[in-house]
Amino acid sequence: MKNDAKKNVKVVEYTDESGQDFSGISRNTITVDENYRYLSKNPFRKLLEFLIYRVIMTPFAALYCRLKFRYRIVGREKLRDAGNRGYFVYSNHTLMAGDAFFPSLISFPRRVRVIVNADNISVKATKGFIECCGAIPLPTKLSGMKHFLTAIRFYCQKKNVIQVYPEAHIWPYYVGIRRFPSAGFVYPIRMGLPVFTSTVTYQKKGCRKTPAVTIYVDGPFYPTEGQPERKQAAELCDAVFETMQKRAKNSTYEAIRYVKVSKDEEGSAE
C-alpha cells in the first residue's frame, strides 16, 4: 500500500471485522416481515418508480459521482457475457452515496435492484424514494423471507440486475476486502444467473481530499453444476472473494486506516 500522506490519515480501530459498521448512522430499524409489500401492481407507483429512477436518480448519480470521485470503470464490457438476461453483481461496501449510485452507472442501461439492510428504509421521509430507486430490504423476520425471494425472482425474470454488498456493513474508504459469508450466494444459484464483481479501489487525485475511484468489473462466475446448493454457494463465495481481493490491491491511497485491536485494548483506550 502506497500512501502519499501517511501523517494525515485518519485511524479507526475495530474489534469485529464482520459485525461493526462505521457509517455513522443510527436508526430505529423498521420491521420487515410478511406484511411488507415488496411488489406493487399500482400503475401510478410504477410510473413514479420510472420517473424517480430514470429521470431523477440516474442523471444525478452520474453527475455526483463524476464530480465527487472522478470515477472510471474498467472491464464493464464483461457484463455483455450475461446476454439477454439478468445477473447479480457483488461489491465491496465502502461508500455511502457512492454505493447507492455506482450500481446504476456500472450496469446502465439495465434496471438495478439493490439488496439493502432494513435500516436504509427506516426513515419515513426517504423510505418511498429509496424504494423507488430499487432498494430490496432484507427481512428482519423469517416470515418475510418468502415475499423477499418472490421479489428477487420477479426482478430476475424482468432481466433486472441484482446488486449485493456481501460485507453488509459500511467501512468508508476501506482498501481491503472483509471476509463475508456464503449465504448471500444462494440467490444466483436458485435463479440460474451469472455472477459478476465490481471492486471499488481508491487513488490519490492531485490535492483533493476525496480519493478518486476506479471500479474493476470481473466475471461471469458460475457454480459447478451437480453439487449441493451449499457447496455451490461456498464455491461462488470463494471465487468472488479471491477476485475482489486481487483487485483491491489496485488501491494506491488510504484515506482511512483501519486497525484491529482486542476488546481489552478497546476498553483500556476508553
CATH code (residue 57):
3.40.1130.10
At 113, list the grid cell. Answer: 435492484
DSSP for 139-191, please give it.
PSSGGGHHHHHHHHHHHHHTT-EEEE-TT-S--TT--S-----SGGGHHHHHH
Q: Is the dihedral of CA 122, 127, 133, 138 positive or negative?
A: positive
Percent of the chain with pLDDT strictly greater than 90: 75
Higher pLDDT, 186 or 22: 186
The identity of residue 242, as a single letter, is E
Contacts of 178 (CB under 8 A, 6+ apart): 17, 18, 92, 167, 171
Other residues' Cβ atoms within 10 Å of the Cβ of residue 85: 12
How many separate domains does the chain show? Answer: 1
At 220, list the grid cell. Answer: 461471469
At 65, list the grid cell. Answer: 459521482
- Residue 180 included in any domain: yes
- Residue 145 included in any domain: yes
Determine the average pLDDT of the residues in 220-245: 94
- Please choose, from the candidates 230, 137, 237, 235, the residue with its C-alpha nearest in 3D space to the C-alpha of residue 177: 237
Over residues 65-86, the pLDDT tens digits come to 999 999 999 999 999 999 999 9
Determine the average pLDDT of the residues in 155-167: 96
pLDDT at 265: 59
Cα 270 from Cα 267, distance rounded (Å) = 5
Model confidence at 264: pLDDT above 80: no
Model confidence at 268: pLDDT above 90: no
- Residue 12 included in any domain: no
- Residue 265 included in any domain: no
Determine the average pLDDT of the residues in 247-253: 96
Banded pLDDT at 28 (limits 50, 70, 90): confident
At 246, list the grid cell. Answer: 486481487
Percent of the chain with pLDDT strictly greater than 70: 93
Over residues 212-222, the pLDDT tens digits come to 999 999 999 99
- Residue 183 included in any domain: yes
DSSP for 13-54, please give it.
EES-TTT---S-----PPP-STT-------HHHHHHHHIIII
Over residues 174-185, the pLDDT tens digits come to 999 999 999 999
pLDDT at 182: 94
pLDDT at 12: 92
The identity of residue 37, as a single letter, is R
- Residue 153 included in any domain: yes
- Residue 184 included in any domain: yes
Model confidence at 2: pLDDT above 50: no
Contacts of 165 (CB under 8 A, 6+ apart): 90, 91, 92, 93, 99, 114, 115
Model confidence at 206: pLDDT above 90: no
- Residue 2 included in any domain: no
Mean pLDDT score of the chain: 90
Q: Which domain holds residue 111?
A: 27-255
Cα 28 from Cα 17, distance rounded (Å) = 23
pLDDT at 111: 96
